[in-house]
Amino acid sequence: MSATNRQIRLAARPVGEVDPEDWEHCAGPVDEPGPGRFAGRTRAISLDPAMRGWLDDRPSYLPPVGIGEVMRAGSVIEVTASDHPDFQPGDHVVGTFGVQEYVVSDGRGAMKIDTSLAPPSTYLGALGMPGMTAYFGLLDVGALKDGETVVVSGAAGAVGTIAGQIAKAKGCRVVGIAGGPEKCAMLTDELGFDAAIDYRADDVRKALRRHAPDGIDVYFDNVGGDILDAALTRLAMHARVVVCGAISQYNNDTPVKGPSNYLSLLVRRARMEGFVVFDYADRYAQAARDIAAWIADGRIKVKEHIVQGSVDDFPETLQMLFRGENVGKLVLELV
């Protein structure tokens, strides 16, 4: 092949917000698959808030992306050539293939998908990591029970839209917290949330008192910061706070704002628990079947925000997450 492989590599560790100069736009060779491997062309790249954490050189649930390495990302590729028995040219495959146009893989961590059932983007969203995160965070970590009151922050995002709709499917009262009137209207009018709180316009604490008058049984937190603190003041007895993420804090160049109201955990006999979705890998298949069934019967509506472009658009697209510009799963579709 004479094509070049456009790649986005990490050039420098960002401090606070990620800067355009923290990325290197490279053109590498397009590799042949070689024995036991397959090659493919990237079709869709996932953009996730967790990516910000992967750029910091500190111990976490995954090693940091190294300086000079291709940026880690989930993506869907289309196989172009293969010496691997399980993958054939034309197959669509999801995996952690990185921000690059061409990929060679030995198949580890890769999974063939059926694009006749759902488009590639959905395998990066509702049927991918965000869907799994919502499912296990809510049902396992949150130990959700039918009829409880659930509050989801970052409710208009990839995980939040699914978490809220799973809670609705389980017969819960669901309140979403999101930024701006459009997102809030989408949550209630389109996704069936019982109420939505616009954290930019509303006093979140007062709004929670109004919309969760008997207290919050499960608080699914994607944002941290002041919204977490507000939710802590409204916990029901034996509440569960699911620590899924803290997007409000990821770009800090100062220490993370700890939840000042954490002593509510004592008063309300409540717990706050973190998790990493990878721990549930042996149950992904069941979760995907459940979510697919809810999509099929209309109880889950899939919200995706698809940006069409090239890998060079990755840095700018990633920033949309932190500016709250996406609704649902943000995907960069390569055209």
Cα–Cα distance measured from residue 193 to residue 164, given in angstroms and rounded to the nearest whole number: 7
Q: Which residues in 297-328 are b (16+ Cβ under 10 Å) and which e?
A: eeebbbbbbebeeebeebbebbeebbebebbb
State yes or no: residue 271 binds a second copy (CB under 8 A): yes
SS3 316: helix
Neighbours of 292 (CB within 10 A): 17
Smallest gap from Cβ 224 to a second copy, in A, equals 8
Cβ–Cβ under 8 Å, residues 1 and 7: no
Cβ neighbours of residue 279 closer than 8 Å, sequence gap 6 or more: none
Query: Per-residue x/- mask for a second copy, residues 150 to 179, rule CB under 8 A?
Result: ------------------------------
Residue 279 interacting with a second copy (CB under 8 A): yes
Find out whether 143 and 75 touch, Cβ atoms under 8 Å: no
Closer residue to a second copy, CB minimum distance, 185 or 276: 276
Report if residue 258 touches a second copy, rule: CB under 8 A: yes
Q: Which of 67, 104, 251, 262 binds a second copy (CB under 8 A)?
A: 262
CB of 196 to a second copy, least distance (A): 25
Judged by beta carbon, residue 155 or residue 242, the one nearer a second copy is: 242
CB 246 within 8 Å of CB 225? yes
Find the binder of a second copy among 19, 117, 201, 260 (CB under 8 A): 260
First to last CA, the chain: 19
CB of 231 to a second copy, least distance (A): 13
Name the residue nearer to a second copy (CB basis): 267 or 296.
267
Q: Is the dihedral of CA 121, 128, 76, 115 positive or negative?
A: negative
By the rule CB under 8 A, 60 interacts with a second copy: yes
> Footprint of a second copy on residues 225-244 (CB under 8 A)?
229, 243-244
CB of 243 to a second copy, least distance (A): 5
Q: How far is CA 148 from CA 54, 218, 325, in A?
A: 34, 8, 30
54 lies in the binding site for a second copy (CB under 8 A): no
Q: Which of 185, 276, 281, 293 lies at the binding interface for a second copy (CB under 8 A)?
A: 276
CA distance 294 to 85: 33
98 near a second copy, rule: CB under 8 A? no
Please report how close the Cβ of residue 187 comes to a second copy at its closest, in angstroms. Answer: 24
- Using the rule CB under 8 A, which residue among 29, 117, 274, 285 binds a second copy? 274
* Distance in Å, CB of 279 to a second copy, minimum: 6
Q: Exposed, middle or buried, 85 (CB in 10 Å: 0-12/13-18/19+)?
A: exposed
| Candidate residues 1, 201, 263, 296; the one interacting with a second copy per rule CB under 8 A | 263
Helices 129-136 and 158-169: angle between axes, nearest 10 degrees: 50
Residues that bind a second copy (CB under 8 A): 59-61, 224, 229, 243-246, 249, 255-276, 279
